[in-house]
Structure 1
Amino acid sequence: MDRGRLAALADERLDWRFKAVPAGAWGSTVAEYLAGAPTLDDLGTPLVTLDAGAVDHNLATMAEYCAKAGVGLAPHGKTTMAPVLWQRQLAAGAVAITLANLPQVRVGRAFGLRRIHLANALLDPAGLRWLAGELAADPEFRFSCWVDSVRSVELMAEALRGAPAPVDVCVELGAAGGRTGCRTVEEAVGVARAVAAADGLRLVGVSGYEGALAHDASAGSLAAVAGYLRELGRLHGLLAELYHPAAERIWITAGGSAYFDTVVEELGPLAGGRVAVVLRSGAYLAHDDGFYRGISPLARGGGQGFRSALHGWLRVVSRPESGLALLDGGKRDLSFDEGLPEPQLRRGHGPVGGEITALNDQHAFLRGAQVQVGDVVRVGLSHPCTVFDKWSLLPVLDSADAEVPRVVDLVRTYF
């Protein structure tokens, strides 16, 4: 990535655009604000923070896992949309950053990202022409995306007619009831043949997303995921003669943050030569205190798991009934699609107990906790992918467990 562009983020002026930033910091640059050694007490609520130690731990843990397993990692950047975090993932050994749509690709290119895997089809003619121009202008830029129909191949080829550089594609295999992707291996082979015959496209691998097929770690779910991955491996075997001869790497790519161990077990043995098995896990970096805490392969395997790096900090603003407290953060601030926030502690008093039973846009309903108006409650969050998008600037604490956590960084996001 462009280190100068990343470094320039420290010169951004803080103001009213960033809801995590107190008014007293307005007018300062990020660097100037951090030089003042701010603490959590200087910030208002509602607030979401990252824990520096947990992020460091998660980066190292995933890098070590992939190295031992002999697989690559192209983490899904859509989780954070934070270029400074993408750079840390690349520095830890990631081979590329995965993104989900064209606007995200443009963010990546704005920060000089040179290895992008788009886990989606790209059919927008104007977007394809822009992409071809980027590839032609930067010989070090590597890009690949997915296709799952002959029609999508035809549309891409039409848009790229006369383009100065070809676009690499992986054929996506799906499954009945899943998301996108060819529904049978035979259909996928037909799409691959269309790619091989098309001008402006190069077939460089097979792809898929097993996470759409299951939502827990039951025996039946794990069997469904394994069966799908075996079909993805079978597809790869059938395409050996169709892969583009000039491709640097042939990718077999799957693996979100819930079942990447099964990907390694089923597809890992296929790696070798120019064939790379590449995971796309993204949520591991922040992990959570909900969905991924329960389903992560490292938690299920009994080894050294990831640590939750995301925390919400909410203030009690009302106790209108016995046993009920209203906190000042809601759906506009916190994730709620994979479980409600988890009360963890009352600042200055230890564990808080109770349960958050509902969220409104700007309020959380905390029941059964011994709290007073004005107390600040730390909550754990579930599903990091729907937290980062709510915060354009995230304070990073040295430790969320410290008596007085220090703010050691501010992470900029671009959604």
Structure 2
Amino acid sequence: MTQTYASSSTGRGIDTAEVTALAEETLDWRFKALPPASWGLTVREYLATGPTLADLGTPLLTLDAGALDHNLTTMAAWCADAGVGLAPHGKTTMAPALWQAQLDAGSHGITLANLPQLRVARAFGVDRIQLANTLLDPAGLGWLAAELDTDPGFAFTAWVDCTDSVRLMDRALRAAGAARPVEVLVELGGPAGRTGARTEAEAVEIAEAVRAAPTLRLAGVCGYEGALAHDAGPSGLAAVRGYLRRLAALHRALAGRYEVARPVVTAGGSAYFDIVVEELKPLDEAEVIIRAGAYLAHDDGFYRGISPLARGAGTPLRSALHGWARVVSRPEPELALLDAGKRDLPYDEGMPEPQSVRTANGPRSLAGAPAAVARLNDQHAFLTGAGDLAPVGAVVRLGLSHPCTAFDKWSLIPVLDDVDRPDPRIVGLVRTYF
């Protein structure tokens, strides 16, 4: 893939040669976003032909170059002004070229969620990774030990949330003959949340177990506040703030026990990073890192409503993510069936949002029309309320909710220069690895 929307490419923290080599991948039937006219060409060669949106079929997922650039620079500036590090969650996109753009913009490193994702990142030379999870797979820990021992420049941290995890990690790393200790962060959770020790006392006990394990090194504390709330109402924000204060208290309780020069305190998905900064930034002796991942693509749904930058904390983000689907049937006057469904578009945080329609007469906005996607089947969307604006053959542009379950459905995603142009040009192809 060639990330032609990016303003620079310094290669900080990633192997730029591996990313650049994606432009030489040959296109073929594997990539459902592209037409047969692209088959046999490399990514670079296809982009050189000057393709446009009209050359692509449906169903389709695209990214908007201007929105990506805006979101990239907006978030980088926000974190710099706040004085915190950003290790964006790479599992959102699993796109090395987008990781490179984030690292070039100043990101501290890349966060990942599991072993397969970690292996992708290492294949592309990412040299600073936080695994926001506990790694217990013995074979995986053996592989990790080899990565750390053979690459002194590889900085890695993992999470732990119980003494059993500490014991199992230590056993597997000893068996692998690990020479370099694995840095770990003790995870604090909350009632009915996800992983994480439920009390500060448990977390302190885990920290002591880490200190006693020769293959591990206590490097900080961590958590995920997004598991405790799902809106920006007063009760949700209060729950998030209360949890973060507990995380700060745990960090203070572990003062003097850390085994690194500057411990890490990390929290912050894409929904509440403003509160994370308010509560954790005063911990001046710590390196505060947020892990927002959805900000780069943003959306027209969940994050549009809950992002701190939509709640007055800074310049709002823009949705870079759009679906495209063709009307293939009008079996009833107020029902249109589109050729995109659950296999193509995210739906776990809300149905796609009809935004405009393209016909032979050009694009037309659906603003003000009662158009809505009522439900999705595997390969169809049920569009209601569009009336005569959506005849058979028309292509509907859809705003999407939740980028984390959009990218995984597409192995190659076209990047458009401007989604609002009459015939947007394709200026990049983003390769994903799920």
State whether TM-score is above 0.5.
yes
CA displacement at 1:249 relative to structure 2: 3.5
Alignment check: 8 A CA contact 1:148 1:173 kept: yes
Distance 1:325 1:183, change over 3 A: same
- From 302, 309, 315, the equivalent of 1:298 is 309
Give the C-alpha shift of residue 304 in structure 1.
1.5
- Cα offset, 1:216, TM superposition: 0.3
Q: 1:330 aligns with which of 318, 338, 341?
A: 341
- Bigger shift: 299-308 or 379-388? 299-308
Q: Distance in 2 between matches of 1:128 and 1:117?
A: 15
Decide which of 144, 147, 153 is 1:134's aligned counterpart.
147
Deviation digits for residues 84-139 of structure 1 (CA, Å, limit 9, x no counterpart):
00011001110010000000000000001100000000011111111011001111
Change in CA separation of 1:302 and 1:227 when aligned onto 2, cut-off 3 Å: closer
Matched, 1:371 2:390: yes
**Paired residue secondary structure (1:283):** coil
Give, as a single letter, the amino acid of the residue that structure 2 aligns with 1:350: R
Determine which of 102, 121, 145 is the counterpart of 2:158. 145
| Counterpart Cα distance in 2 of 1:248 and 1:296 | 33
Letter of the 1:187 partner, please give it: E
Q: Does 1:31 align with 2:44?
A: yes
Q: Does 1:269 align with 2:282?
A: yes
Deviations 1:198-220 (A, max 9, x none): 11000000000000000000101
Kept after mapping to 2: 8 A contact 1:133/1:165? no
**Compared CA separation, residues 87 and 249, structure 1 to 2 (3 A):** farther
More divergent stretch after superposition (263-272 vs 55-64): 263-272
Matched, 1:318 2:333: no
After the TM superposition, which segments of 4 or more aligned residues of structure 1 sit over 6 Å from their partners? Answer: none
Equivalent pair of 2:308/2:314 in contact (CA under 8 Å): no
Residue of structure 2 in register with 1:43 after alignment: 56
CA-to-aligned-CA distance 1:364-413 (integer Å, 9 cap, x gap): 00001031000011000000000000000000000101111000000000
Measure the CA separation in 1 of the matches of 2:130 and 2:313: 31
Structure 2 Cα separation of the partners of residues 190 and 326 of structure 1? 57
**TM-score, structure 1 length as denominator?**
0.98
Instruction: Please give the secondary structure, in 1, of the residue aligned with 2:327.
Output: strand
Corresponding residue of 1:179:
194
SS in 2 for 1:305: coil
Task: Please give the alpha-carbon distance, in whole angstroms, between the structure 1 residues aligned to 2:18 and 2:306.
Answer: 36
Question: Residue 248 of structure 1: CA displacement?
Answer: 4.9
Task: Measure, in 2, the Cα distance between the counterparts of 1:349 and 1:312.
Answer: 15
| TM-score of the aligned structures, taking structure 2 as reference length | 0.94
* SS across alignment from 2:279: helix
Which piece of structure 1 moves more, 247-256 or 405-414? 247-256
Give 2:406's match in structure 1, choosing from 384, 387, 391. Answer: 387
1:194 aligns with 2:218: no
Instruction: Give 1:77's aligned residue.
Output: 90
Q: For 1:290 and 1:324, locate their aligned partners in 2 and report how far apart those are by CA, in whole Å.
A: 23
Asked if residue 228 in structure 1 is aligned to residue 243 in structure 2, the reply is yes
Aligned pair count reads 411
Contact 2:178 2:215 in 1 (8 A): yes
- Partner-residue secondary structure (3-state), 2:46: helix
Partner of 2:4: none
Displacement after TM superposition at 1:302 (Å) = 6.3
SS at match of 2:111: strand
Superposition deviation, residue 67 in structure 1: 0.6
Q: Which amino acid aligns with 2:416?
A: L
Secondary structure of 2:122 counterpart? helix
2:353 maps to 1:345: no
Q: Distance in 2 between matches of 1:8 and 1:158?
A: 39
Give the superposed CA RMSD: 0.8
Query: 1:87 aligns to what?
Result: 100
Give the aligned partner of residue 60 of structure 1: 73
What's the CA shift for 1:271?
A: 2.9
**Is the Cα contact below 8 Å between 1:129 and 1:160 reproduced in 2?**
yes
Unaligned runs of 5+ in 1: none
Deviations 1:229-276 (A, max 9, x none): 0000000001112100xx25311000000000000000011134xx21
Cα offset, 1:165, TM superposition: 1.4
- Is 1:72–1:94's contact at 8 Å kept on the other side of the alignment? yes
1:411 paired residue number: 430
Could you report, residue by residue, the CA deviation over 1:333-383 in whole angstroms, capped at 9, with x for unpaired residues? 000000000000012242123110000000000001031000011000000
Residue in structure 2 matching 1:241, options 245, 249, 256: 256
C-alpha contact (below 8 Å) 1:100/1:118 kept by paired residues: yes
Indicate the residue corresponding to 1:203 in structure 2. 218
Counterpart contact for 1:71–1:271, Cα < 8 Å: no
Give 1:303 shift.
3.7
**Structure 1 counterpart of 2:297, from 283, 286, 289:** 286
- Farther off after superposition, 160-169 or 54-63: 160-169
CA deviation vs aligned residue, 1:24-71 (integer Å, no higher than 9, x gap)? 110000000000010000000000000000000000000010011110
Identity over the aligned pairs, expressed in percent? 68
Alignment partner for residue 181 of structure 2, among 146, 154, 166? 166
CA contact (8 A) 2:363 2:422 kept: no
* 1:284 alignment partner, SS class: coil
> What SS does structure 2 have at the residue aligned with 1:217?
coil
Aligned pairs for 1:102-121 within 5 A: 102-121=115-134
